[in-house]
Amino acid sequence: MTSATVSRQASSGLYIGGLIWTLVRTDFKTRYHGTIQGFVWALMKPLTMFLVLMGVFSFIFASDPAYRVNLIVGLFLWEFFAQGTSVGLLSLRAKGFLISKAKFPSWIVVVTSLANALITLAVFWVVILATLTLSGHVPSPLASALFLWYLLHLTAIVIGFSLAGSVLFLKYNDLNQVWDVVLQAGFFVAPIIYPLSILPERFHKYLYLWPPTPIIQFARQVLIAGTTPSLKAHGLLTFEAAIVLAVGVWVFRRYAPRAAEYL
**Interface stretch with another protein, choices 17-25, 123-131, 190-198, 227-235 (CB under 8 A):** 17-25
Q: What is the dihedral of CA 195, 199, 200, 205, to 10 degrees?
A: -70
Q: Does 181 bind another protein (CB under 8 A)?
A: no
Q: Does 197 bind another protein (CB under 8 A)?
A: no
**Interface stretch with another protein, choices 4-12, 67-75, 183-191, 213-221 (CB under 8 A):** 4-12
Q: Does 102 bind another protein (CB under 8 A)?
A: yes
Among 41, 51, 104, 243, which residue sits at the site for another protein (rule: CB under 8 A)?
Answer: 104
Q: Cβ 106 to another protein, closest distance in Å?
A: 10
Q: How many residues does the chain have?
A: 263
Q: How many residues bind another protein (CB under 8 A)?
A: 39
Residues in 238-257 at the binding interface with another protein, rule: CB under 8 A: 257
Nearest to 106 by CA among 20, 44, 11: 20
DSSP conformational letter for 165:
H
Q: Does 5 bind another protein (CB under 8 A)?
A: yes
DSSP conformational letter for 138:
P
Residue number, 15 or 239, with CB nearest to another protein: 15
**Interface stretch with another protein, choices 6-14, 46-54, 71-79, 193-201 (CB under 8 A):** 6-14
Q: Which residue stretches of the chain are H helix?
A: 2-10, 12-32, 36-60, 67-94, 96-99, 107-112, 115-134, 141-171, 175-189, 201-207, 212-220, 231-255, 259-262
Q: Cβ 99 to another protein, closest distance in Å?
A: 7
Q: Do residues 150 and 218 make contact, with C-beta atoms less than 8 angstroms apart?
A: yes
Q: Does 14 bind another protein (CB under 8 A)?
A: yes
23, HSE (Cβ side, Cα atoms, 13 Å): 24
Q: Do residues 221 and 228 make contact, with C-beta atoms less than 8 angstroms apart?
A: yes
User: Where on the chain is the footprint of another protein (CB under 8 A)?
Assistant: 1-2, 4-5, 8-9, 11-12, 14-15, 17-19, 21-23, 25-26, 29-30, 97-104, 171-175, 178, 257-258, 260-261, 263
